[in-house]
A and B are shown apart, each in its own frame.
Chain A
Amino acid sequence: MGLIDYADAYRMLQRYGIRSVESRYVPNAKEAVSFSKGKPIVLKAISQKALHKSRSGLVALNLSSDKEITQSYNQLTRKAQQFRPYKILAQRMVSRGTEIIIGGKIDSQFGKMILLGLGGIYVETFKDFALRLCPITKYDAESMLRQLKSSAIVAPDKQTASHITELLLKTSRMFMENEITELDLNPVLIHDGTYDAVDLRIIK
């Protein structure tokens, strides 16, 4: 059991056509600046020992100037000392959107199950989620979305709804075809008529 490296997880999602924000490990502040190309980015310290990055202060959002990026990079590396070994990941900053969670776990009785819920910081507060046994059908995916109390917030229009059902079907396939015991895509940001997985946690 162990967390799959972010870069490997990212590639796995790409293989299944699951959109996630462009990301790269950056060995130093200079590389982070060049990844940014003047556009806003996010820096995250990634460590097996820190499962809740934002809670541990290991995330710096919305950095665009060279100075901001360099300063935050140095701050992050200081904070991350207690979680060594770690790596710093640079990601494109996605503008605002609704945060959802797509997850997977193995139930001891029934097997692999997939979860859809209102995501980000709301997961544990509202516990608004739907769960199904994998592999799921299109009907299952649609009924998961319908089941959410927040379905009108999560999928305000048909296009978004079909993005989410597609995403659920792809995630179910990925979960079934790989040696995965748990996974969190949290949050997945719903924005501008599309979506992007912003944080990934896949456990072997």
Chain B
Amino acid sequence: MKKGNQKIKYADLRHIMSPKSVAIIGASENPDKIGHVILQNYVDSGFAGKIYPININTTGKILSFKAYKSVLELKGKVDLAVIAIPAQVVPQALDECGRAGVKGAVVVSGGFAEVGEVKLEEDLIRVANKYSMPVIGPNCLGVMDLRSRNDTLFLPTFKIDRPKIGGVSFASQSGAVGSTVLDLISNEGFGLARFISYGNASVVDEVDVLEYLAHDKETKVIVFYIEGVKRGKEFAETAKKTTKLKPVVIIKGGVTSAGSQAAHSHTAALAGSAEAYEAIFRQFGFAIATDIKDLLNFAKIFDTQPPATGNRIAIITNGGGTGVLATDAVCQNGLVVAKLSKESEQSLRKSMPPIVNIRMPLDMAGDADDKRFSTVLEVIENDPNIDAIIAVALFQTPGADSRVAATLIHYATHMSKPMVVISMGGSYTKMHKEMMESAGVPVYDSPGDAARSLAALINYSRYKKGI
């Protein structure tokens, strides 16, 4: 955010993310009002701090909380104001927040620049700058922080699942993509650190959000949905600094715009705005997802696996055909199939039954049990010719059971090399998939998903080593 011409180092979002006290401006007894849902959610999620409902028409109590007509009655007591009132009166309410010393605000209300009310949005920005108050929104879902149980989302808890606590933070310009992905993350093995839906980005923008998450200790992986950025040069600088600290997975909406038609050079004709964004992401080491599924696929490998030393992949499988498909997927994603070292070959020749061919992809046969998996993984872990592992574990086979899952968990969480698992199938497989994922193993439904995710991790590892 900018204050006049002077740039603030980075917007301090701590009080917005983990407030000790919250004023809900527009809180209401009427269940049809957004302010009601927000207040109810604070109650449901078990927020431990102080809750102050604010409603200009209040007669004393809302949902059994003591209610106030204005935040001015609470001078010095409020960390975060969540504002859910008609757009026309937002600037005034925000000004009262400033006068009352509120440390940050989330403006959920829509009806600003996105519908042509530019003047109203400028008023909002002016008030925020006057008090140097970080403001998220307007026109957004706001924030979710599971550790402090701070949740400004106006979506009832029965409609959208809340994720478990973890290390992945997710920022989204769009509230729709935001809530969908949040709902999906809730059903993944990994957990959420912070969620920020920043809407019109009129005060706190993409650069501030990225910078905050870059320095946030709870955030291990940043997942970002953007449609555009407001400060291109600062965004590029921040991107460069952020990826030195932690991985960023990004998806950009609106990538199909054509290059400038009236270009004077080949270069300008080729390199339109979408290409420029992609170039910036690439140059500064972002993992680029092209659909929402990959956003989640990439997040889970970055959340759980160590960096890779190279792109030589060992493929081990208890099903021949799936191993072949995995080999194809590896090659299609710019990775190479590893060659076993002489020592590994000799060792495996001794320990594997005669039906196992000692070469990549290593088909351990359908009767492979946990011991065979374990023997192979032990050898691969110590083979200097191997940088990362794809283990295909088909639970339909005679040899595979929960002991195989336990073995895979052991290696995928202890090795210094990244490992992913491919398991496809019905309820028995799903059970083991959940078991492995909740223990920190990235499990994929298809060889393509697994190879793309591994390639994203390897590209980032190479980027960090190269710069």
Contact = CB atoms under 8 A, between A and B. Distances in A.
Interface of A: 1, 51, 101, 103-105, 107-111, 113, 115, 117, 123-124, 127, 129-133, 137, 139-140, 142-143, 147, 182-184, 186, 201, 203
| A interface secondary structure, majority | strand
A129 B265 CA distance: 14
Given A137-B467, A183-B265, A184-B266, A107 B273 contact: yes
Interface of B: 228-229, 232-233, 235-236, 263-271, 273, 275-280, 282-283, 466-467
B232 A115 contact: no
B466 A143 contact: yes
A186 B267 CA distance: 9
Contacts of B467: 137, 139
A105 B282 CA distance: 18
Given A105-B265, A132-B283, A139-B466, A115 B270 contact: yes
Given A107-B273, A139-B467, A143-B466, A131 B279 contact: yes
Nearest to B269: A124
Contacts of A147: 282
21 contacts: A51-B264, A101-B266, A103-B271, A109-B229, A109-B273, A110-B232, A110-B276, A110-B280, A111-B232, A117-B270, A123-B266, A124-B270, A132-B283, A139-B466, A143-B466, A182-B264, A182-B265, A183-B267, A184-B265, A184-B267, A201-B264
A201 B232 CA distance: 27
Contacts of A113: 271, 276, 279
Nearest to B272: A107
Given A103-B270, A143-B283, A183-B265, 15 more contacts: A103-B268, A105-B267, A105-B268, A107-B273, A110-B236, A113-B279, A115-B267, A123-B266, A124-B266, A131-B279, A132-B279, A182-B264, A182-B267, A184-B265, A203-B265
Contacts of A104: 267
Given A109-B276, A110-B232, A127-B270, A133 B283 contact: yes
Contact of A186 (B228, B266, B280): B266
Contacts of B273: 107-109
Contacts of B277: 109
Contacts of B279: 113, 130-133
Given A111-B232, A143-B466, A147-B282, A131 B276 contact: yes
Contacts of B235: 110
A105 B273 CA distance: 11
Nearest to B228: A109
B201 to A, nearest CB: 14
Given A111-B233, A113-B279, A133-B283, A123 B271 contact: no
A10 to B, nearest CB: 17
B256 to A, nearest CB: 14
Contacts of A184: 265-267
A80 B416 CA distance: 67
Nearest to B239: A133
Kindly list the 4 A-B residue pairs having the minimum CB-CB distance in the complex, ordered from nearest: A103-B267, A109-B232, A131-B279, A110-B232
Contacts of B271: 103, 105, 107, 113, 115, 129, 131
B150 to A, nearest CB: 33
Contacts of B466: 139, 142-143
